[in-house]
Amino acid sequence: MTHDPVTLTVQPYAPHHRPLLHFAPAKNWINDPNGLIFLNGEYHLFFQHNPHGTDWGHMSWGHAVSKDLLHWEELPVALEEDDQAMIFSGCCVLDAENTSGLGTPLHPPLIALYTGHHRNEIQSQQLAYSLDQGRTWTKYGIVLTENIPDFRDPKVFWHPETQQWVMALVLASEHQVVLYGSADLLSWHKLSTFGPAGHTGGIWEVPELLRLSDDSGQEHWVLKVDLNPGGPHGGSGCQYFVGHFDGQAFAATQEAKWLDHGKDFYAAITFANTADRTVWLAWMNNWQYARDHIHSTYSGHMSLPREIHLEQTESGLVLVQRPVRELDGVWSQLQTLQQVQLNALDQVELLHLPAAALDAQLSFSATPHSVYGLSLHCDGQLEWTLEFQPDQETTVLTRRGQVWQEGFQGKHAAPLAAKGLLDVRLILDHSALEVFVDSGKQVFTEAFFPAEGLVSLFLYVKSGSVKCQIEGARGPAVKPET
């Protein structure tokens, strides 16, 4: 495809692109979510942040808190780069038993483990702790170093069976995840190494080893690891392996699968300390073009938080993602058509909105071989289409829009989730598009930067015949005209 940048005028992260429910910083650059944890009724979101500009640099941990995972209050920067190192990605744990001795049993410390990126490119794992709910932090220093570069992104959990903390981190350019164990979070010993395996078309980053249940309640272990480049549509991507973990080593029992079929879901990690569910979120961006999007007051936003679990399917266990249940309560019902039936070459406007903010649940039942899809127009311009092509066994998300950046526009295809009957939850939040197909078994996550103006969602049919049921549509309350 060729594009003429001169005719494309919309600048990413313009004021009308600011999402309502997806976290975006007040100003400046963000990338990976870090240190996600639920503590005393508050969700903490730390994030890779440049406090001094809209491009990557001076990496520090920004900080925001929320009671419902959707409305965030940004707090002062939590961990700032210093003369020694920039603060790269990492995690937080609550040291409830005070194994580190850095708090007291009555006031257990909140512990951050992160990568210090030193001037000479060496990366070491460092610890900081907070005794006041993450508001202020004391840097403790290095707890693990191999004196090598490209050794980063620790994610830690408590493993009760072996009574130890377990840390997963990457040897990025070796395509390996290394596991370390510790009794006290301060001294670490190597347990095992996993990889190279699965997709290795780029460096590995931001791993997480986690336990997830399937739909019958059986527990499995999942190792998630991102890569850049080498993603399914160029640039960044994320893959996961399902397998076993015995307290020492992870062994995959399935081939690697892609986690998301859009281009913008990177560096997901879960919230620690959420007792009854597993929730994660990711940076909604792709290193292929993220640093070209820096001409606004801020750059980057997160995905919605998603509850995740495994489900048994024809192609083995699949990681299923659904938006957190808190989302069901925030927006109000929109008046819409309830059901439409279309034949070849028809199209109908399903919804007409003042801005790209929508949470809609749709189901489609189509005659065999029907090719049909949804398209979104903002201010009369086609922004994206999502098309189901049963004969090609694919679903294709085509991102168009008025933004030009290498790799941004294009067709992003995934295997067709189901034939005949299909359910789709579509979430639009100004510059965020999240599509959950087949009850979350397949997800497309992409940022888009629409023209400002009225928004129309169309259903179109290229061949065959399609019935579409609109099960529900919600959106922000519209201010009455004055």
Which residues are known to be catalytic?
A: 32
**Smallest gap from residue 254 Cβ to ligand FRU (A):** 25
CB–CB of 279/69 below 8 Å? Answer: yes
Least spacing, CB of residue 218 vs ligand FRU, in Å: 32
The minimum distance between CB 43 and ligand FRU, in angstroms, equals 21
In the structure encoding, which two tokens stand for residue 358, read together? 């929508």
Q: Which two tokens stand for residue 449?
A: 């930067």
- Tokens coding 471: 């099960």
* Amino acid of residue 458: F
Cβ proximity of 209 and 179 under 8 Å: yes
The CA distance from 110 to 129, in Å, is 6
Cα of first residue to Cα of last residue in the chain, in angstroms, is 45
- Residue 325: CB atoms within 10 A of its CB come to 11
195 or 450: CB nearest ligand FRU: 195
Q: In terms of CB distance, is 89 or 402 closer to ligand FRU?
A: 89
Give the count of alpha carbons within 13 A of 303, CB side only: 34
Instruction: Output 28 or 375, the one with its CB closest to ligand FRU.
Output: 28
Residue numbers of the site for ligand FRU (CB under 6 A)?
Answer: 31-32, 48, 59, 88-89, 115, 152-153, 205-206, 267
Distances (CA, A) of 314 to 218, 337, 348: 17, 34, 34
Q: Which is nearer to ligand FRU, 364 or 408 (CB)?
A: 408
What is the SS3 assignment for 16? helix
Show the tokens assigned to 167: 């840390």
* 193 vs 365, beta carbon nearer ligand FRU: 193
Helix (H) or strand (E) segment spanning residue 143? strand 138-144
Work out how close the CB of 269 gets to ligand FRU at its nearest, in angstroms, rounded to a whole number: 11
Task: Please say which residue, 180 or 364, places its beta carbon nearer to ligand FRU.
Answer: 180
Q: Dihedral of CA 352/327/68/59: which sign?
A: negative
Joined tokens for residue 77? 């920067």
Closer by beta carbon to ligand FRU, 285 or else 370? 285
Q: How far is the CB of 80 from ligand FRU (least distance, A)?
A: 14
Cβ 203 to ligand FRU shortest distance, Å: 8
Q: Print burial letters for 190-213: b (CB count within 10 Å at least 16), e (below 16).
A: ebbebbebbbbebbbbbbbbbebe
The tally of CA atoms less than 13 A away on the side-chain side of residue 362 is 28
DSSP string covering 222-244, please? EEEEEEES--TTSS-EEEEEEEE
Least Cβ distance, residue 456 to ligand FRU (angstroms): 35
